[in-house]
Structure 1
């Protein structure tokens, strides 16, 4: 089975609501095509191990996807796209050297490349293939696996790193931002607006909290010659019950992009009267601290392509954040390009998929560096 065929088969399997069928495919393929020890945990993660040694290198991805557009789902009875597909399957089409379809870029193409590299490699140490569920909803699978003892020493995560430094170059991302989403709840006392002084206006209290958010210093760190900057953005506000009632409650949501090792002091808003601050989601950032590992992956990437890959940073949170938080040294290397994932015309370059396959194989065989 070629890389294109494997990507097509895997990407056609619906996995935005339930990733079970995609996990079944991965498990069956690994058991049929390799001699690895394959496990499937309670969350649905698929993990395979081969080789032995003091250090473990993992090729990591996820097989869940975001909801597809209607045009990305086969509906042959309606005469729509998807001839040759069963109803409900994702439509995967090849044209102009690319594969189009939901999940081709994020990230079943990278998974297919990792599967073949895992099968082909002759590792000097233990090599692991891991595909998680629930990456698109906060790293559910990765967190479950880590809690269950998944702890590779090193990991190459197949999220997108192509075209970051230059056109047609797949780089090695050594850091990325995290995301902390939180809610500021302001509480006051309701009163009739004609006697506003009899109440405490929750919206006024909320706006005071917003002013404090805007005054907070946002951290930045230097990584790989780049400045990775955090960001605080107020994204939603809701409050009040009627035009003539002093509001007793108002909520504000804050999107915070975090950087490795630093956080904005958002907890300071809770010092204000009538204000409560709660964290709703906290996806950790990532930074590779092992330069030898990063350079080894870059050397493998350099040998697999005509361009000159660089060590770069990435703005999006990935499962690499959870792994790094648990002690795994991570880099990111994958075919998806900026702005490609989650789109209605999502696609991936076939040439770059082959590049990733070769890079993964080289990393697996050449690590650890002596």
Structure 2
């Protein structure tokens, strides 16, 4: 194996292949429950005398899972977290060459929804469980599985609190998002905001009697576009990112009922992703200020009009600690050292925000995530298996 973790024998069969197939076969699209997958994992852990903490959300339809493989002396505090999200994005409207929920191997690749993002990493960790248990560890290994990462890292926000409540206090966390086994040391924040314009309906021949919600929403969309253009042209900039400035845009719009009716409602959703030099809270205040300005104009036409701003998701940015020992550890275990930051969000910022030295590193390429025919190279699974095997040996008592 090379230092980058790339396998030279791509024809070899990963030990984790059966587990990836098993996990992919469970449809955990974010709009649905992830409990069938959590129950499978929990039962597997119990069969190996590891009692998991299954931690439901308020609805009872979703759950996080935390499990600890203790140190040789029984210790459960400290150690390393292997973290992965269980949900996947929809396949609606995508044209796949095979059933997206039946993982199949073609040309050295494993195809299926979630193979890269990120059931491959979870499968590697689960397959390694017997070796973790058979090895006398000098500190514990924790498994942390979350729900609803794809819709705003909702489970991640809860699991860091749950880990704190359990008193585990890990010293390190590896979030196994697909990075081609490169060490990612930072990412932007990710924020999703819904803005609802409520106008007044009227017959389109009597427009002065109404307040057109779509027209005011269009003014807001233009404002967001102009702000995004200012970021692009004037910064601030951070060249560590492939897109070196804060971005934003309106991506969902719905409003109106008929062409001859003044629209009394329009709802839009936007997202913005900030570099560290731009505070998400300041951007949100900018958006709220423009919404308030437009609301005043609408209410000048009719006092019953309104604008409502709702934050749907707020995922913090992430920056690895200076001199991070977890970065050093990952490189020693075979990952590629890359002082690299990415534009997409992960749960790493939530773990790091609680003081856990965190990195992002896992099998597969983010470019393959979310699209039709998602895949992970078998060589990537093999590299991740070797990475976890080395982690277990690194934590062997006496080392």
TM-score after normalising by structure 2: 0.72
Q: Once the 2 structures are TM-superposed, how far is the Cα of residue 94 of structure 1 from its aligned partner?
A: 2.2
Out of 40, 62, 65, the position equivalent to 1:46 is: 65
Q: Secondary structure at the match of 1:41?
A: strand
Instruction: Report the structure, 1 or 2, having the larger strand content.
Output: 1
Q: Once the 2 structures are TM-superposed, how far is the Cα of residue 232 of structure 1 from its aligned partner?
A: 1.3
1:262 aligned onto 2:276: no
Whole-angstrom CA distance in 2 between matches of 1:136 and 1:226: 21
Q: Deviations over 1:11-48 (max 9, x none)?
A: 33343333333223222333334x54533223433322
Whole-angstrom CA distance in 1 between matches of 2:236 and 2:386: 35
5+ residue gaps, structure 1, are 74-79, 83-88, 163-169
Q: Once the 2 structures are TM-superposed, how far is the Cα of residue 317 of structure 1 from its aligned partner?
A: 1.9
Q: Once the 2 structures are TM-superposed, how far is the Cα of residue 130 of structure 1 from its aligned partner?
A: 1.5
Corresponding residue number in structure 1 for 2:300: none
Whole-angstrom CA distance in 2 between matches of 1:246 and 1:64: 40
**Contact map agreement 1:240 1:250 (CA 8 A) in 2:** yes
**Contact map agreement 1:226 1:312 (CA 8 A) in 2:** no
Out of 19, 36, 40, the position equivalent to 2:34 is: 19
**Contact map agreement 1:290 1:329 (CA 8 A) in 2:** no
| Structure number with higher relative contact order (C-alpha < 8 Å, ≥ 6 residues apart) | 2
Out of 69, 83, 94, the position equivalent to 1:60 is: 83
Whole-angstrom CA distance in 2 between matches of 1:104 and 1:143: 24
Q: How many residues align?
A: 345
**Contact map agreement 2:189 2:275 (CA 8 A) in 1:** yes
Cα pair distance change 1:342/1:202, threshold 3 Å: closer
Corresponding residue number in structure 2 for 1:321: 349
Out of 173, 178, 181, the position equivalent to 1:155 is: 173
Corresponding residue number in structure 2 for 1:124: 138
Counterparts of residues 233-244 of structure 1 (less than 5 Å): 233-240=249-256, 242-243=258-259
Whole-angstrom CA distance in 1 between matches of 2:192 and 2:40: 34
Whole-angstrom CA distance in 2 between matches of 1:172 and 1:234: 31
CA RMSD of aligned residues (A): 3.6
Corresponding residue number in structure 2 for 1:3: 16
Counterparts of residues 197-208 of structure 1 (less than 5 Å): 200-208=211-219
1:28 aligned onto 2:43: yes
1:97 aligned onto 2:116: no
Q: Once the 2 structures are TM-superposed, how far is the Cα of residue 61 of structure 1 from its aligned partner?
A: 0.8
Cα pair distance change 1:136/1:232, threshold 3 Å: closer
Q: Secondary structure at the match of 1:279?
A: strand
Out of 207, 210, 225, the position equivalent to 1:214 is: 225
Corresponding residue number in structure 1 for 2:301: none
Whole-angstrom CA distance in 2 between matches of 1:280 and 1:204: 23
TM-score after normalising by structure 1: 0.77
Whole-angstrom CA distance in 2 between matches of 1:300 and 1:117: 19
Q: Deviations over 1:41-68 (max 9, x none)?
A: 2343332212237633200112333345
Q: Once the 2 structures are TM-superposed, how far is the Cα of residue 352 of structure 1 from its aligned partner?
A: 1.1
Whole-angstrom CA distance in 2 between matches of 1:69 and 1:183: 23
Q: Once the 2 structures are TM-superposed, how far is the Cα of residue 175 of structure 1 from its aligned partner?
A: 1.6
Q: Once the 2 structures are TM-superposed, how far is the Cα of residue 113 of structure 1 from its aligned partner?
A: 1.4
Whole-angstrom CA distance in 1 between matches of 2:111 and 2:312: 34
